[in-house]
Structure 1
């Protein structure tokens, strides 16, 4: 049956998809929300968002059910997951066991895959909310031809509400979708009870980057900045946690005199992610495009001083010199200078980190974001 927050992961049973009795108790039961998005077992920012949402849902008026529409792996595995999700959703819809559908999408294949569910919900008259995640969506839309652009606009306009991560993203999506139906809903974060302790055991300061390794996240800009930083701070360590171009990064640092100052952690999550966040002194995310990255919000929640770029929704979270440091994408000298300033002034670094932690608690705490989402669900149901 419907739980407070439930995920139909790969291989889960569909035994509970049959119709429910319409008793007085059922009428008073929580309204049912189907959440469509990637598997929470996958990698990436959207999976991280869903993991937080589903794991910390506490709104008694609504029960969530997650149907994964995407999994990591081969094309065949992805196609099978999408078809399985379509079958499961069709069964739930046919049994009239859904009151609202919440579709999480990004760009490229993700948008086209989720568009099938959006159009199906529109055909069936099911209230539907879309949530846009990808920092690459403008580039995706620009690369589309006239027919595909028309299709993107058509699909978006079949949504009753569109959640965007920041006002900046609202300005973009407002050119494709009615502004009056846009709702700013930032990514949620769980604020730990205590900030990072910087428990590195005397091995030198740790500069941490989390996310997919590659040019989009500024990985190679960080590598270009390392020699000068290490020349001034010989014990500094640079930790990279993420998937992506791991082999290319390993080849790039091979033979460098500072190679022993770099650690490639692979994808980190759960307790391992918490451990590295608690050991870090500075967090880096010099991205070229973003929505509102979960890794950034998590670092802020742990009280880490951050160096990042003013792209996507990041300016809503980072005020330069107040809650972090902002540099232009690709500006390696500015990146190097920002890192060195934080390592040279630990008191200032801690002040920036604690201001960031306060901001996250005030704006991005999972309970606050949940309240905003639940209010939109309730509004749509009242209109029905």
Structure 2
């Protein structure tokens, strides 16, 4: 933290997806909005990138293509108002077109008004995004972002490989709101809670579970989440003749605690990822983690220390790891205890709060 606090509160506008959209970015945005709202040094507001139009104009947002145009116009007008009244525009970012439509206009308008801009990039697809869009993404980030912040050392490395300086401020996990249980005895009860999209490769989890169920016929798998792959995954469950597989659909963040508490092993098998909140939440709940080694996950999970990592798309290795934990509950408990301790020491709100406050206050002189 700077030695001298500013004469007035630094006004920060958080810009990102609407809070009624379930996803990692919206969850982190909500936590920042609530937590930083209690700061003595900051005045924090929120601007959705997908504003809901009032009255009869909302009908236009139901028309394909038209909704993109009218929503972008409304978003742009909101950005101009935010730039007039705030010192720092903090824009959450995903990849590809999402970057063009949401954080890029925020950074452009912010810099036109002489405001500090923070690009908070969360996507595990950063390497491909910056490679394939290097004539647009890289130069605009370099020119219009005052600071680039990412949630993991993995993305710091990715951005650095494109000549972009980024700093890491980790995601936070509200351990006081999650059910913690030391699992001295494991039952074959598995949980997956990633969106059902191709990059998260939930099919690998299903196939791993199939191998586990050969040894433990009463094993169960809860799949919380929804997406384009749901029908294909339900067909896969049927083809493999699996039992005790439950598709929960989309679960709001405040509803996930019960599912963590009821599970005994957390399965995670993405092909592309960054710093999944779900792993941190599993850590906080005392749930041993078996995951692929995609993207930034090895920056979170040290295999054999606080979880188990396997190669991407290797369902046999996932199943073998899970069976080992079931056969050796003391090993599983040791991994889970280490994960919980790491969660407490790195990813709780006080640690994250100090990092964000220090960043904003360092930008205040330029505001």
TM-score, length basis structure 1: 0.84
Identify unmatched segments of 5+ residues in structure 2: 1-5, 53-60
| Residue aligning to 1:137 | 126
Q: Partners in 1 of 2:44 and 2:178 — Cα distance? A: 29
Q: 1:312 aligns with which of 272, 284, 295?
A: 295
Q: Partners in 2 of 1:322 and 1:203 — Cα distance? A: 18
Q: 2:284 aligns with which of 283, 289, 301?
A: 301
Measured against aligned partners, the alpha-carbon deviations of 1:274-313 in whole angstroms (never above 9, x if no partner) come to 1101111011111111111111111111111101122332
Q: Report the aligned-residue RMSD.
A: 2.4
Q: 1:213 aligns with which of 165, 181, 196?
A: 196
Deviation at 1:255? 5.3
Q: Partners in 2 of 1:81 and 1:368 — Cα distance? A: 36
Q: Partners in 1 of 2:172 and 2:265 — Cα distance? A: 22
Q: Partners in 2 of 1:203 and 1:311 — Cα distance? A: 26
Higher RCO structure (Cα 8 Å, ≥6 apart)? 2
Judge conservation of contact 1:204–1:237 (CA < 8 Å) in 2. Answer: no
- Comparing 227-236 with 83-92, which one deviates more in the overlay? 83-92
Measured against aligned partners, the alpha-carbon deviations of 1:43-66 in whole angstroms (never above 9, x if no partner) come to 222112112222333322112111
What's the secondary structure of 1:216's corresponding residue? Answer: helix
Identify unmatched segments of 5+ residues in structure 1: 1-26
| Residue aligning to 1:192 | 176
Judge conservation of contact 1:156–1:177 (CA < 8 Å) in 2. Answer: no
Q: Partners in 1 of 2:321 and 2:117 — Cα distance? A: 43
Judge conservation of contact 2:91–2:117 (CA < 8 Å) in 1. Answer: yes
| Residue aligning to 2:41 | 61
Q: Relative to structure 1, is the Cα distance of residues 343 and 215 closer, same or farther in structure 2, using a 3 angstrom cutoff?
A: farther
- Comparing 368-377 with 308-317, which one deviates more in the overlay? 308-317
Judge conservation of contact 1:102–1:130 (CA < 8 Å) in 2. Answer: yes
Q: Partners in 1 of 2:174 and 2:342 — Cα distance? A: 13
Judge conservation of contact 2:182–2:333 (CA < 8 Å) in 1. Answer: no
1:165 maps onto 2:151 in alignment: yes
Q: Relative to structure 1, is the Cα distance of residues 373 and 206 closer, same or farther in structure 2, using a 3 angstrom cutoff?
A: same
Judge conservation of contact 1:42–1:71 (CA < 8 Å) in 2. Answer: no
Judge conservation of contact 1:36–1:102 (CA < 8 Å) in 2. Answer: yes
1:254 maps onto 2:233 in alignment: no
Aligned residues: 347
What's the secondary structure of 2:175's corresponding residue? Answer: coil
Q: Partners in 2 of 1:242 and 1:227 — Cα distance? A: 19
Q: Relative to structure 1, is the Cα distance of residues 242 and 80 closer, same or farther in structure 2, using a 3 angstrom cutoff?
A: farther
Q: Partners in 2 of 1:38 and 1:334 — Cα distance? A: 36
| Residue aligning to 1:10 | none
Q: Partners in 2 of 1:133 and 1:34 — Cα distance? A: 18
Q: Relative to structure 1, is the Cα distance of residues 193 and 50 closer, same or farther in structure 2, using a 3 angstrom cutoff?
A: closer
